[in-house]
Amino acid sequence: MTIPINQSTAANAKSAAIRLAQLKQQLNLTPSSMSQQAPKDMAAERASADFDIEALAHHWHGGREQYVLMQKAFALIKSDPELVVQPPRNFVELTKDESREFTMGQIHRFVKLLQDPVIRSQGPEFAEALFQALVNYSESFSMRIGVHRALFRNVLLMLGSDEQRDEWLDDVDNYRIFGCFAMTELGHSSALRDIETTATYDINTDEFIINSPTITATKWWIGMAGKTATHTMVIAQTYIDGKHMGHNWFIVQLRDRSTGELMPNVIAGDIGHKVGRSGLDNGWIQFHHTRIPRTQMLNRWVDLDRQGNYTPAPSPVVMYATLIPERVMLVLNSMLMVSHAVAIATRYGVVRRQGSHNEQIMDYLSHYGKFAPAVSFVYMVRSATSTLDEQFKILTAGGNMDPEVYMYHMGDMHAISACLKGLTGWYGSDVLETCRRACGGHAYSAYNNIGQIIDDWGVLTTGGGDNVVLLQQTAKILLHLLTQKLEHDQYPQLKFKSSTHYFIRAKEYLAVPQWHVTDVSMCLDNLSLIEEALFTILVKRLNSIREDLKAGTTHNDLLLDSVRAAEMHAAAFLYSDAVGKYDKADLSADPGVAKIMRRMTALWGLHTLHTYSDQGFKEGFLTPQQVKQIEKVYLMATKNLRKQLIGLTDAWGYPDFVLKAPIAKYDGDIYEPYFETLLMSKNSIGVPSYHGKYIKPLTDAE
């Protein structure tokens, strides 16, 4: 497909190229030994991989066909000025308003491409690849369109009746309306029990009246509500005939689809400047006795007839199930952002040399000892989220949920999605800080993208629920299931393998006084040794918390213990899921891929056992000598993977324009491109506009 290039953009690019060439003539750009060595180092790193990098890339993307489609999608968007910021403009120099406009322009262009006959002829798989390519390029695009696709749409699918889906879904899928997700409030964030927005049924007019009774009832941080969304899903306290009926979801129109003006009795605005994701128009909404038809209360699980007879949901928790896909989306987004930062820092780490023997800085334990588990973490999360996707399909059955199956499985899905979101948020924060420090002063430059990723990251530690609260919720479910097993020998029989499957052997684990492994290196040959150790520690720790609660200790006094156990449960789930896939797997008949994925799995298991060894020590399950051995074997495993890191990060398939970091150029030739990036920046050289006003009066003074 030929993409028309905006003429002014092309002219600007040509002018910038001429200016850059002129500047380079004035500068001393003679290659140094360091700049000449960098590409050689990168090539040597790539050649040292023990596996076929392209074969691993196929596995990462879900198969060769998907990999080829992604590369084709990247090639398509790379030179499109409406999708990717083109020189001389730079992504990091866009103002808030420019970012808002550019991101909406990306969505407009994406939708138009989906409607293009040439794109349509290539099938839905290529359309999805285009979407994923843009998600990789822009966090603002990812979240702005994700609010519509993953939140607004999912609420409709999960909670809307067949009639409501028939009425709304076509407009949603074809972007004739843009939806947002009005859950959080100024005074209550995600504490849904306390939200103040009300929906009162008026039987005389057959309408609901949506109202924001106080300032703290204002819907807050609502993505796309600032300027874009035409409609929103609103969760509100419901009142019928003067009686409180709990929470329900409602479709409310915010803006006229043609003019963009706010609807009567709706006031909404933009949150303004944020730390990151400046292309997303987060907003606030107030409803002033806004009237909507009764039919716009989502009624797959509840019902209200014309006479005001209300049938409640089988359980109030179904109203919160929409948060499960949101959390899985946030986990995937976390993995994506971490992988970008790790790819940047890893590439820089093998071309930057420093030390008494001019070592590659990646050869220091402070580098490879941190980056090897970070790379493993990315692979584990990628693998585990595919498992959660399959489990979620069982839960929702494509929107045709069996109420009994749905109710029976939702608690388990909530538990693992909540704690996995907590783990990825916290460990991901550590990894990003590691990446920043590992790139030295160059990470402080916005042009190398690490800082931008860290700014954009903030929403992932609180969006979808505060990590402490989510981990508390998981711990509560874990304690309940463990009690049911220990005291009543009951354990739910699910249609998928639960993350808590190890509770089936809880009594057996409690009876084990100490880990029997005396040589921890044996764990590299037998991955189940680590798995059994993690499960035993978890059962013992959770049981200790349970016993303390029974003895009268408060939940608040055990808060940190509970959160730590839930976090460990998530890490153990990542490991156990990977063991099931990679311990003895034959991946696409490629032994190199199978071997490296098993090594990634083993490293994550050792990382988890090392990180949470304090939990085992508290229970007397691990001795000081075993803890020392675990650390020794773990660090040796990171060292053995040192030369595989470039190949492992290459397999993610991120083009240079997606990473947006000159110090992470694929070929390792980083210094001249870095310099060129700065030279193309507006006003990088020359007399500043304020010289005559502020500098000259001082320097000319006698």
What pLDDT is stored for residue 9 in this prediction? 59
pLDDT of residue 587: 63
12 pLDDT above the threshold of 70: no
Strands 231-240 and 179-182, by their bridges, are parallel
Any idea which of 455-464, 614-623, 632-641 has the lowest mean pLDDT?
455-464
- Amino acid residing at 364: Y
* Beta pairing partners, 252: 232
Residue 5 banded pLDDT, cuts 50, 70, 90:
very low
Distance (Å, whole) CA 153 – CA 75: 29
pLDDT level of residue 201 (50, 70, 90 thresholds): very high
- pLDDT band for position 88 (cuts 50, 70, 90): confident
Strands 198-202 and 231-240 turn out to be parallel
88: cis peptide before it, omega within 30°? Answer: yes
Multiple choice CATH, 176-317, 2.40.110.10, 2.60.40.10, 3.30.70.2470, 3.40.190.10: 2.40.110.10
In tens, the pLDDT along 564-600 reads 999 999 999 999 999 999 998 676 568 999 999 999 9
- Report pLDDT digits (tens) over 138-193: 999 999 999 999 899 999 998 999 999 999 999 999 999 999 999 999 998 777 88
Tell me if 176-317 shares its fold with 323-649. no
| 27 has a pLDDT exceeding 70 | yes
Question: Is 223 annotated for ligand binding?
Answer: yes
Mean pLDDT of 61-69: 96
- pLDDT tens by residue, 332-352: 999 999 999 999 999 999 999
pLDDT at 134 over 80: yes
* pLDDT tens digits along 516-533: 999 999 999 999 999 999
Whether 1 has a pLDDT exceeding 60, the answer reads no
Identify the pLDDT of residue 416. 95
pLDDT of residue 8: 58
In this predicted structure, what is the pLDDT of residue 7? 52
- Element holding 643 (H helix, E strand): none
Q: Is 552 annotated as a binding residue?
A: no
pTM of the full structure? 0.94
pLDDT of residue 6: 52
Q: Residue 116 phi/psi, 5° resolution?
A: -70, 130
- 3-state secondary structure string across 179-239: EEEECCECCCECCHHHCCCEEEEECCCCEEEEECCCHHHCEEEECCCCCCCCEEEEEEEEE
Q: Where are the alpha helices (DSSP H) in 211-364?
A: 323-351
N-term to C-term CA, the chain: 66
With 50 as the cut, is the pLDDT of residue 111 above it? yes
Is the pLDDT at 637 greater than 60? The verdict is: yes
Provide CB contacts within 8 A for 633, sequence distance 6+.
Answer: 520, 521, 523, 524, 606
Fold of the 323-649 domain: Butyryl-CoA Dehydrogenase, subunit A; domain 3 (1.20.140)
Whether 84 has a pLDDT exceeding 60, the answer reads yes
Contact status, residue 331 vs residue 421, Cβ threshold 8 Å:
yes
Give the model's pLDDT for residue 11.
Answer: 63
Domain extents for the chain? 176-317, 323-649
User: Could you give the CA distance from residue 222 to residue 148 in angstroms, rounded to a whole number?
Assistant: 11
